[in-house]
């Protein structure tokens, strides 16, 4: 079971008068099969938090522990753009991030490609696929290393509404099936409410403003009353924060 | 004979009905078949050549001594082709000698240029140090290198080879440097996030991302080097393609000069078609075909619904 423990996390950029606080005293525990969305206005530090969790940046103060059953957890990533190697086929893109080239590994890659409904596209190059299909390959790649935790940074923000919706459904299905922990950064509150069982709202200046549990059953229809109420609640929180900031 | 038959058409006079019908159908056909258009171009060129010579000779009869007709050039090229030549070495020996020099210079220019380009792309200091002299070599005409090298090395292989290197290397340096500067940072970040080992990153990310630049470098280096080589052989050679064209020039054989120039062009085209294009097609299989792009543009409006269709179909 994966676990993320964040204690007194503090991050600043620059020195002196140029100093900018990106994250301020964040304390947070995420455990088990959760789907956690991090939302907030731009400049609230959500990307910084993800960068620290993924090890791209180091915290100024505080600690971050990502473990799975006592050992260091293996992370997987889905980026805003698919970030595929354009000169390798879909299958080779998945194989690129694997530790070995054994038959088991190949079969596993194929299984995840089928899960994102691209089982027959393994021999295609990314340039031959649509944007939505490329992002699916990115998702399959992240799942294919069977990580303990999956980090996703606005993976659907570049896609049109309909493709994004279809992919959200697939993602939910995969999360449900694989029982992985997902940490999902987004600026789309509707998306967060549709997918997550927990939403962390960050305010400008990097404070963790609200920690909202959403215990509605899946699949969630945005038109559903309860889902709409939850979305309205988060949006209201957003507006309050916006007022505070201005 | 061909000339008189087609003259009305080419001159745009009043053609008989049958060619007129063909003429109206022709534009549509050309539009449909790029191959036909390609073939038509040289045919048209030869026609203009032959016809203009006939016109010039009407005014100035001695022109026939200086201006070769396509048929004369054709006959010369055929003789060369079957190795019936007055020159010291036949066509194949000549081009083999030149090709050997070109390849030696080309290989050295590619290796040195790639090393320099990598160093200049990776290090600001190296770039600052080398930038100006690279530009200086780039600005120097191949003719100057050819003369200079023939003075230093006399009539052996070194002069022409060095000319190829000096003519080609700045293009390799500049292209490889741009390639290094344009490496896809986001793909390196992705590889690091997935903890892909360095050797694998070099093989699957760095090298393929440099390939388009290496190809541009190779093509430039080859064609510029080839031109430099010919000039160098004119001044500092005892054999080779450049020397042979000078031989025909000295012999006052205009058809020889034109014919040999045509061999240069054929050689360069053959090399492009038989070497660069197949390698490039293999190396860049991943690039979306031109057709795909056109189709995507044509279906741009439907693109938004693509995801929906995809899911609906399942």
Kindly report, residue by residue over A73-132, the tens digit of the pLDDT.
888 899 888 899 999 999 999 999 998 889 999 999 999 998 888 999 999 999 999 888
Q: State both tokens at B299.
A: 């279906």
Edge-first strand order for the sheet with A71-72 is A20-31, A2-13, A61-68, A71-72
A6 domain residue, yes or no? yes
> Is residue A145 within 8 angstroms of chain B, CB to CB?
yes
Counted domains in chain A: 2
How far apart (Å, rounded) are the C-alpha atoms in residues A177 and A174?
5
A228 domain residue, yes or no? yes
Summarize the confidence of residues A164-173 as an average pLDDT.
86
C-alpha closest to that of A127 among A178, A90, A171: A90
How far apart (Å, rounded) are the C-alpha atoms in residues B100 and B106?
10
Contact B307 A162 (CB under 8 A): yes
Residues A33 and A26 sit within 8 Å (Cβ to Cβ): no
Please calculate the CA angle B284-B285-B289 and round it to the nearest 5 degrees.
100
A179, pLDDT greater than 90:
no
A79 domain residue, yes or no? no
Q: Which residues in A lie closer than 8 A to residue B189 (C-beta atoms)?
A: 56, 83
Cα→Cα distances A114→A170, B85, B234, Å: 11, 67, 64
Residues A158 and B304 sit within 8 Å (Cβ to Cβ): no
> Is residue A15 within 8 angstroms of chain B, CB to CB?
no
Contact A97 B196 (CB under 8 A): yes
Residues B217 and B175 sit within 8 Å (Cβ to Cβ): yes
Residue of A nearest to B314 (CA): A117
C-alpha closest to that of B70 among B94, B39, B43, B91: B43
Instruction: List the single range of A19-23, A73-77, B50-54, B302-306 with lowest mean pLDDT.
Output: B302-306
Identify the pLDDT of residue B163.
94
How far apart (Å, rounded) are the C-alpha atoms in residues B232 and B226?
10
How many C-alpha atoms does A15 have within 13 Å on its Cβ side? 0
Domains and CATH numbers, chain B: 2-67 (no CATH), 91-283 (1.10.3720.10)
For B173-208, the DSSP string reads HHHHHHHHHT--HHHHHHHHHTT--HHHHIIIIIHH
Summarize the confidence of residues B174-183 as an average pLDDT.
91
Residue of B nearest to A151 (CA): B193
Characterize B72-92 residue by residue with b for buried, 16 or more Cβ atoms within 10 angstroms of its Cβ, and e for exposed.
bbeebbeebeeeebebebbbe
Provide the number of CB pairs (under 8 Å) joining chain A to chain B: 78
Neighbours of A233 (CB within 10 A): 16
Per-residue pLDDT of A32-41, as tens digits, reads: 889 999 988 7
C-alpha closest to that of B165 among B123, B118, B112: B112
What CATH number is attached to the domain comprising A41? 3.40.50.300
Identify the pLDDT of residue B304.
36
Q: Residues A20, A125: one domain?
A: no
How far apart (Å, rounded) are the C-alpha atoms in residues B303 and A179?
33
How far apart (Å, rounded) are the C-alpha atoms in residues B101 and B217?
18
Q: Closest approach of chain B CAs to the CA of A240, in angstroms?
A: 35
Identify the pLDDT of residue A54.
82
Enter the pTM of the model: 0.73
Identify the pLDDT of residue B14.
46
Q: Residues A39, A105: one domain?
A: no
Q: Residues A159, A140: one domain?
A: no
Identify the pLDDT of residue A159.
82
How far apart (Å, rounded) are the C-alpha atoms in residues B121 and B177?
4
Q: Smallest Cβ distance to A87: which of B186, B286, B308?
A: B286
Please calculate the CA angle B4-B8-B10 and round it to the nearest 5 degrees.
95
A146, A165, A200 - which closes a domain: A146
Per-residue pLDDT of B214-225, as tens digits, reads: 999 999 999 999
Per-residue pLDDT of B248-288, as tens digits, reads: 999 888 889 999 899 988 888 888 899 988 988 888 888 87
Q: State both tokens at B167.
A: 């003519």
Residue of B nearest to A124 (CA): B286
The residues pairing with A213 across neighbouring beta strands, listed in sequence order, are: A198
Q: Residues A166, A233: one domain?
A: yes
Identify the pLDDT of residue B12.
43
Contact A130 B196 (CB under 8 A): no
Identify the pLDDT of residue B29.
60
Residues A3 and A36 sit within 8 Å (Cβ to Cβ): no
Which is more confident, B19 or B293?
B19
ipTM over 0.90: no
Q: What is the DSSP letter of A17?
A: G
User: Average pLDDT of chain A?
Assistant: 87
Summarize the confidence of residues A206-211 as an average pLDDT.
85
Identify the pLDDT of residue B301.
35
Instruction: List the single range of B17-21, B51-55, B284-288 with lowest mean pLDDT.
Output: B17-21
Identify the pLDDT of residue B60.
79
Contact A145 B194 (CB under 8 A): yes
Identify the pLDDT of residue B15.
46
Q: Residues A99, A47: one domain?
A: no
Identify the pLDDT of residue B164.
95
Q: Which residues in B lie closer than 8 A to residue A130 (C-beta atoms)?
A: 303, 306-307, 310
How many C-alpha atoms does A3 have within 13 Å on its Cβ side? 11
A146, A167, A188 - which closes a domain: A146
Contact A77 B194 (CB under 8 A): yes
Q: Closest approach of chain A CAs to the CA of B115, in angstroms?
A: 24
Identify the pLDDT of residue A244.
59
Identify the pLDDT of residue A14.
84
A26 domain residue, yes or no? yes
A146, A168, A197 - which closes a domain: A146
Identify the pLDDT of residue A233.
86
Q: Residues A128, A223: one domain?
A: no
Q: Residues A98, A177: one domain?
A: no
Please provide residue A241's backbone torsions phi and psi, each rounded to the nearest 5 degrees.
-65, -40
B26, pLDDT greater than 70:
no
Q: Closest approach of chain A CAs to the CA of B188, in angstroms?
A: 10
The residues pairing with A67 across neighbouring beta strands, listed in sequence order, are: A3, A72
Per-residue pLDDT of B85-143, as tens digits, reads: 888 888 999 999 999 999 999 999 999 999 999 999 888 899 999 999 899 998 999 89
Q: Residues A69, A159: one domain?
A: yes
Q: Residues A165, A228: one domain?
A: yes
Identify the pLDDT of residue A16.
80
Best of A87, A120, A123, A129 to mutate (most B CBs within 10 Å, chain B): A87
Q: Residues A190, A159: one domain?
A: yes
Q: Write out the residue range of the structural domain in which residue A122 sits.
A: 84-146
3-state SS, residue A76: strand
Which range has the top average pLDDT, A17-21, A235-239, B121-125?
A: B121-125
Identify the pLDDT of residue B166.
94
């Amino acid at each position: 079971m994966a676990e993320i423990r964040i204690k007194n996390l503090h991050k600043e950029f620059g020195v002196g008068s140029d100093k900018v606080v990106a994250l301020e005293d964040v304390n947070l525990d995420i455990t088990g099969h959760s789907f956690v969305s991090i939302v907030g206005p731009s400049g609230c530090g959500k990307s910084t938090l993800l960068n620290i969790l993924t090890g791209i940046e180091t915290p100024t103060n505080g600690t971050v522990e990502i473990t799975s059953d006592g050992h260091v957890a293996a992370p997987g990533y889905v980026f805003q753009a698919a970030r595929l190697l354009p000169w390798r086929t879909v299958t080779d893109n998945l194989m690129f991030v694997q530790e070995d080239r054994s038959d088991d590994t190949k079969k596993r890659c194929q299984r995840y490609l089928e899960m994102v409904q691209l089982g027959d596209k393994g021999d295609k190059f990314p340039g031959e696929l649509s944007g939505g299909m490329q992002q699916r390959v990115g998702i399959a790649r992240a799942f294919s290393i069977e990580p303990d935790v999956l980090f996703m940074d606005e993976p659907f923000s570049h896609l049109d509404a309909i493709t994004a919706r279809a992919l959200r459904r697939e993602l939910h299905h995969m999360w449900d099936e694989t029982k992985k922990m997902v940490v999902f950064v987004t600026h789309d509150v509707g998306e967060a409410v549709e997918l997550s069982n927990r939403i962390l709202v960050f305010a400008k200046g990097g404070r963790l403003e609200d920690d909202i549990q959403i215990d509605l059953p899946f699949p969630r229809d945005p038109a559903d009353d309860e889902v709409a109420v939850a979305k309205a609640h988060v949006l209201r929180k957003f507006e309050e924060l916006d007022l505070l900031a201005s | 004979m061909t000339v008189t038959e087609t003259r009305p058409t080419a001159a745009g006079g009043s053609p008989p009905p049958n060619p007129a019908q063909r003429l109206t159908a022709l534009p549509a056909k050309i539009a449909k078949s790029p191959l036909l258009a390609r073939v038509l171009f040289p045919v048209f060129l030869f026609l203009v050549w032959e016809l203009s010579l006939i016109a010039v000779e009407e005014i100035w009869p001695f022109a026939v001594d200086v201006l070769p007709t396509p048929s004369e050039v054709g006959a010369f090229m055929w003789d060369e082709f079957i190795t019936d030549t007055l020159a010291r070495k036949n066509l194949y020996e000549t081009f083999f000698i030149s090709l050997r020099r070109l390849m030696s210079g080309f290989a050295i220019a590619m290796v040195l240029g790639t090393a320099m380009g990598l160093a200049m792309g990776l290090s600001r200091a190296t770039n600052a140090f080398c930038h100006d002299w690279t530009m200086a070599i780039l600005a120097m005409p191949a003719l100057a290198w050819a003369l200079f090298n023939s003075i230093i090395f006399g009539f052996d292989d070194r002069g022409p080879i060095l000319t190829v290197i000096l003519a080609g290397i700045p293009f390799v340096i500049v292209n490889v440097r741009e390639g290094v500067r344009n490496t896809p940072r986001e793909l390196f970040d992705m590889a690091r996030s997935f903890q892909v080992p360095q050797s694998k990153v070099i093989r699957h990310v760095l090298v393929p991302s440099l390939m388009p630049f290496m190809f541009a470098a190779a093509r430039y280096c080859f064609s510029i080097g080839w031109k430099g080589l010919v000039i160098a052989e004119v001044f500092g050679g005892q054999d080779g393609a450049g020397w042979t064209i000078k031989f025909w020039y000295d012999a006052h054989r205009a058809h020889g000069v034109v014919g040999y120039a045509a061999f240069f062009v054929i050689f360069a085209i053959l090399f492009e078609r038989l070497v660069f294009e197949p390698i490039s097609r293999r190396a860049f299989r991943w690039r979306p075909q031109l057709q795909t792009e056109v189709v995507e543009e044509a279906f741009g409006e439907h693109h938004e619904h693509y995801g929906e269709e995809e899911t609906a179909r399942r």
